[in-house]
Amino acid sequence: MLFFTQIKLANIDKKITTNLKVSKWYRTNNSKDIYSLSLKGIDRSEQWVKDVETFIELAYREDKYLKLIDEYSLGKEDLIDIFLLMTIATLPNPIFKTGQSKFGHTLVGSAMYQEINKQFKQFLNSLTFHEDIEWEQKQFGHRFATEIVTFARFLKNAHNDKFGSICLEEIL
């Protein structure tokens, strides 16, 4: 069942990417400094955000994810906020290559769901190093803002170092 869920998640990832690129939020904010942005500034009625919600709903129904999520007392809203904050953290290009092909790419926010042991567990474990950096929590609007931003940037940079960078304009 997990394998099929991951295929569905990969398809939703492509929908999110497409809708993010044409969204008002992205066009308005893609060149801004991330520290001027917040979860509060995201219009939750935009299609790309609805696609993120669909993505999280599907992941949340999968036992393998749910068991891990429950260990850290995270809910669906937390997971949606985490995805959105990873998008903010990696602007202007919240994607990275997953291989040498220009067609092999994923959003930073969805990547960890494809590699449960290598990325998803690592991300969840990073939440235990809660440093309580209050200004970042207040700025971004989430209790784990520091950990989310740090993990997202690390993951993107690691893939960029390995495969090179890619931007939204190159893929659509």
pLDDT of amino acid 140: 84
Q: Are 53 and 80 in contact (CB under 8 A)?
A: yes
Q: Are 84 and 39 in contact (CB under 8 A)?
A: yes
pLDDT of amino acid 137: 72
pLDDT of amino acid 102: 66
pLDDT tens for the chain, residues 1 to 172? 899 999 999 999 999 999 999 999 999 999 999 999 999 999 999 999 999 999 999 999 999 999 999 999 999 999 999 999 999 999 999 999 998 776 789 999 999 999 999 999 999 998 876 555 676 777 787 888 888 999 999 999 999 999 999 988 888 6
pLDDT of amino acid 170: 84
pLDDT of amino acid 160: 94
Q: Tell me the one-letter amino acid at 85.
A: L
pTM more than 0.85: yes
